[in-house]
Amino acid sequence: MASLSTAPRIPSSYLRPGSHASSPREAFFGGLGLLPWLSTSRLGLEVRGVSLNGGVRVLAPRATAGVSSFVEQSKSEEESERPLRVGIICGGPSAERGISLNSARSVLDHIQGEDLHVSCYYIDSELNAYGISPAQLYSNTPADFDFKLESLAQDFHSLSEFAKHLAASVDIVFPVIHGRFGEDGGIQELLEKANVPFVGTPSNECRQAFDKYNASLELNKLGFLTVPNFLVQGNKADKSALMNWFRNSHLDEATGKVVVKPARAGSSIGVTVAHGVDDSLKKAINIITEGIDDRVLIEVFLEGGREFTAIVLDAGTDMNSRPIVLLPTEVELYLSNNNEVKEDTIFNYRRKYLPTQQVAYHTPPRFPVNVIECIREGAALLFQQLHLRDFARIDGWFLPSSNNLLSSSGTDSKFGNTESGTIIFTDINLISGMEQTSFLFQQASKVGFSHSNILRTIIQRACLRFPSLKPCRNAWNNLSRRLKSSQYAKIPPRIENAKKVFVIFGGETSERQVSLMSGTNVWLNLQGFDDLDVVPCLLAPENGYSSTKQNPDNVSHSRIVWTLPYSLVLRHTAEEVFAACVEAIEPARAALTSCLRDIVMTELSEALNQHNWFAGFDIIDEPPVKFSLEQWIKQAKESQAIVFIAVHGGIGEDGTLQSMLEAAGVPYTGPGPMASKTCMDKVSTSLSLGHLTSMGVLTIPKDVRSKEELLSSPIPDIWHDLTTKLQSETLCVKPARDGCSTGVARLRSGEDLKVYTNALHDFLPRLPANSLSKAHGVIEMPCPPPHSLIFEPFVETDEIIVSSKSLDGNARRLMWEGRSEWVEVTVGVVGKHGQMHSLSPSITVKETGDILSLEEKFQGGTGINLTPPPLSIMSEDALQRCKQRVEVIANTLELEGFSRIDAFVNVHSGEVLVIEVNTVPGMTPSTVLIHQALAEEPPMYPQQFFRTLLDLSLQRSK
């Protein structure tokens, strides 16, 4: 049988910089034998009879989130050994500021440590600057920032004052602002004027490269092939000139296909497809009118082209640039056959950042080797000739030789022509996205870098460019070496004796994409502990996901588990991870990848080994290993592993996986089989809580209908029957035995029900925005469709509005009329069986529509969660009564470990109207569970939170 050791440990000499045990964790968890739980008094667990004492001993994490930002330096500490002070700046005025927050959170996760002191800053949409705590960075979306800044942040009266603060308080700035002000030279010019060192390209070069039109002119001048384009500027729309451009570009004036995109709005905002002169002008003017940009580019659509993106890392010394291009990634777009126009084949914002089945990545690309070599050569040349610094991401297209879109006189001598086709570079991204699964980390992990290692390498390289930083850099390196040396001396056998943890995610339900996000986040956080050997594992149907689509009612097919190497986890969808596993073990593909990886790693080694701070690579990219589910559980038993369950819905939440693990004697996280089974069935949950009415715990009436009944019976009859039984004119529909992220919609009429059932019948992956009678966003549908659905009365609550400014224009405020007295909340519960503790509830605020969208639930940087509930909405007395009732619910359902309860709460009485209970709740970087853990006193950061859940499962097993 294959071994589970698919992610072998790197020798200690290659461990990433800053890998160290840290004592501050004891300040968080010192009160309990069960680390990393805090003592009941410190965590605020004022719960009757709660005792969390245990005997599990763990080592400290390598980098405890947030702690390093507040550790006071000893007065006797030598200046020659002090942390490097890094300032992360995020936010900004562009529509990508939500992604900026995710990137900043990811950077914070992976660079901080005792040797690196991180301070966090936020710039709002009006270019006001604030100093924020790390907890704010984790727990807030842009709307939350804007609402809470006055009370929780340090504001600066001007950007110049902000720059002076940075000059005095940090050694180097890491700008993580995407789009305007972050990549157009704005923040860079501010820092340059204040003589503040920073990571990335200087301001003048940013300005040139960021503007897509100017960049295309410069690329053409430098001898690169470019896409024919036309600039629309301000309100000057010269239709006759555009018609001439269409003719010169061999495009039909009425139907010619083009891409319309802002010239200065980042890589994904406002990009759309148009046909003909009139449509192109209309969409260009729309972009200008909406205020996205006043310069709009119209480009020839590269029909048949294949998109790629490449990360460039500068491995040079001092002021000498030596760009090395990592293994590029091919971006493959998918289109469903239903309800989706074929021409929408662009890598837009939704495809780039949401876990939808519309895109797949291939690293390296499935291009001929000479094309890959040409991409790497061209990207490095561009980086050098545009005078970029430290790192960048360069996007482009490969057009196979059969494509003659760009064939014209004068192009033969341009860079980009190969025997296999044409390479065109189109976008230069000065601050690449740095979310957990971004291209930066995908490509870096493929050539030996962990998240932490690549980020710290970028920072080290940036420091070399500033002679004034030499003492700081030397002190940082001295401290890093001393900490590592001390660590290895104290705990030499930590890797050999590490406790195995299998993090399992994926599955077959419609929530598998969110499950992947949860599992990835848990895996990355738990990797921060030296005493743990964490193995990521994908649960999947044996024959892949196409089999579940073809036979949606077949639940008897075999399941497999893939154990994954580091780089294969970093994907957007379970389908993509599965396909990458199959691709990775294909002999020819594996041989090619290995060869290309060796070439890049050799280049990197030769360059980086000239620096005394480079500690080597810390990721080995080995092939994935395939097991049957039964074999995998046997391996878990033999390895004495703990299983961290991150499988949402299906066997991950209905008690099946829990029963199998329990039978094998394998400890696992979360509630046991019976509690899981009860909570998975929303009707059973309500029945189990029905006797608690006198205690202020209420349930919503439900009516369950099979999919077959909905598809075969007259819709008007069903609608009349439902509204009569449930005594409600509008209904909420959701899958009966699935999670809460897909297929949830508000129905106002029989016509809405017909649209919904047609979507089930046609296996639609999503309901397009505004398909129902009232405006709404895109509704992701369960795939495969569920066997049965639940209908409930739609509970009306008053709209909560988080306004950026109050009516007098001076302060931000929250607006809520409070007529219904009920608000929607979600709350995490954590603890041992019979002693569950309620975290602080979060009030969920919908930005649009009646139901939280997929973006608002799981896309960091969007949606609003008010944690804890503002006193202007719920009194402290009502809040405490609510938490007490939540604990009653958790203990009645016999929950343990952790779960999440969704409910409506009466803001005056604290009565709780239960919606549903999730025994494997979302654990994504932006999950409300993290917000709620951070609201505890003192805050519990993500690493500590996930370790808590792991240790609770260990104590239960003993």
Give DSSP secondary structure letters for 250-279: T--TTT-EEEEEESSSTTTTT-EEEEHHHH
C-alpha R_g of the chain: 27
Question: Residue 919 carries which side chain, given as an amino acid letter?
Answer: T
Task: Show the 3-state SS of 660-719.
Answer: HHHHHCCCECCCCHHHHHHHHCHHHHHHHHHHHHHHCEEECCCEEEEHHHHHHCCHHHHH
Answer for the pair 655, 514: CB distance below 8 angstroms, yes or no.
no
Answer for the pair 462, 74: CB distance below 8 angstroms, yes or no.
no
For residue 472 the two structure tokens come to: 């700081």
Q: Identify the pLDDT of residue 711.
A: 93
Q: Identify the pLDDT of residue 818.
A: 75
Q: Dihedral (C-alpha) 338, 341, 344, 350: value to the nearest 10 degrees?
A: -40
- How far apart (Å, rounded) are the C-alpha atoms in residues 29 and 715? 57
Tell how far CA 907 is from the center of its chain: 32
Question: Residue 29 carries which side chain, given as an amino acid letter?
Answer: F
Q: Identify the pLDDT of residue 890.
A: 98
- How far apart (Å, rounded) are the C-alpha atoms in residues 291 and 93? 12
**Residue carrying the six token digits 């106002």:** 748
Residue 253 backbone phi and psi in degrees, to 5: -65, -25
- How far apart (Å, rounded) are the C-alpha atoms in residues 309 and 311? 7
- How far apart (Å, rounded) are the C-alpha atoms in residues 895 and 654? 13
Q: Identify the pLDDT of residue 96.
A: 84
Phi-psi region of 747 (alpha: psi -120 to 50; beta: other; left: phi over 0): beta
Nearest to 101 by CA among 354, 450, 390, 434: 434
Question: Residue 860 carries which side chain, given as an amino acid letter?
Answer: G
Q: Identify the pLDDT of residue 384.
A: 96
What are the average pLDDT values for consecutive 10-residue runs of the chain, which has 958 residues?
37 34 32 31 28 29 38 45 95 87 93 93 93 82 72 90 97 96 96 98 96 94 94 85 94 94 80 94 91 91 93 92 97 59 46 56 94 97 97 95 61 85 94 94 96 96 94 92 72 66 92 91 93 96 70 59 96 90 93 96 96 92 94 97 95 96 96 96 93 96 93 94 94 78 87 94 87 84 83 84 54 71 94 95 68 44 72 93 98 97 94 95 88 89 94 83
**640: which residues sit within 8 A by CB, 6+ positions away?**
499, 500
CB atoms within 10 A of CB 416: 24
Strands 421-429 and 391-400: antiparallel
| Angstrom distances, CA of residue 340 to CA of 254, 358, 359, 549, 766 | 22, 11, 14, 18, 10
Answer for the pair 143, 175: CB distance below 8 angstroms, yes or no.
no
**673: which residues sit within 8 A by CB, 6+ positions away?**
655, 656, 658, 659, 662
- How far apart (Å, rounded) are the C-alpha atoms in residues 498 and 492? 11
Tell how far CA 650 is from the center of its chain: 23
DSSP assignment, residue 122? E
- How far apart (Å, rounded) are the C-alpha atoms in residues 363 and 577? 12
DSSP of 847-886, one letter per residue?
SSSSS--HHHHHSTTSSEEESSPPTTTS-HHHHHHHHHHH
3-state secondary structure of 243: helix
DSSP of 910-929, one letter per residue?
--EEEEEEESS---STT-HH
Answer for the pair 920, 654: CB distance below 8 angstroms, yes or no.
no
- Give the number of residues written for the chain: 958
| Angstrom distances, CA of residue 373 to CA of 383, 599, 603 | 15, 10, 13
Answer for the pair 230, 296: CB distance below 8 angstroms, yes or no.
no
- How far apart (Å, rounded) are the C-alpha atoms in residues 426 and 216? 7
- Predicted structure pTM score: 0.85
- How far apart (Å, rounded) are the C-alpha atoms in residues 877 and 155? 32
3-state secondary structure of 834: coil
Q: Identify the pLDDT of residue 455.
A: 97
- How far apart (Å, rounded) are the C-alpha atoms in residues 424 and 219? 10
Answer for the pair 98, 861: CB distance below 8 angstroms, yes or no.
yes
**340: which residues sit within 8 A by CB, 6+ positions away?**
none
Q: In what order do the strands lie in the sheet with 703-706?
A: 703-706, 788-793, 731-735, 745-747
Answer for the pair 923, 946: CB distance below 8 angstroms, yes or no.
yes
- How far apart (Å, rounded) are the C-alpha atoms in residues 740 and 791? 14
Q: Which pLDDT tens digit goes with each residue over 893-913? A: 999 999 999 999 999 999 999
For residue 145 the two structure tokens come to: 């920032």
Question: Residue 672 carries which side chain, given as an amino acid letter?
Answer: G
- How far apart (Å, rounded) are the C-alpha atoms in residues 293 and 287? 6
Answer for the pair 734, 740: CB distance below 8 angstroms, yes or no.
yes
For residue 135 the two structure tokens come to: 């907890």
Tell how far CA 150 is from the center of its chain: 27
Question: Residue 422 carries which side chain, given as an amino acid letter?
Answer: T
Half-sphere exposure for 543 (CA within 13 Å, toward CB): 11
- How far apart (Å, rounded) are the C-alpha atoms in residues 645 and 639? 17
Question: Residue 549 carries which side chain, given as an amino acid letter?
Answer: K
- How far apart (Å, rounded) are the C-alpha atoms in residues 72 and 56? 29
- How far apart (Å, rounded) are the C-alpha atoms in residues 508 and 548? 7
Nearest to 627 by CA among 544, 562, 545, 543: 562
DSSP of 450-516, one letter per residue?
-HHHHHHHHHHHHHHT-GGGHHHHHHHHHHHHHHHHHHHHH-TTTTTTPEEEEEEEE-SSTTHHHHH
- How far apart (Å, rounded) are the C-alpha atoms in residues 219 and 382? 8
For residue 494 the two structure tokens come to: 């930590």
Q: Identify the pLDDT of residue 657.
A: 97
Q: Dihedral (C-alpha) 765, 767, 769, 772: value to the nearest 10 degrees?
A: 180
**Residue carrying the six token digits 């019979």:** 834
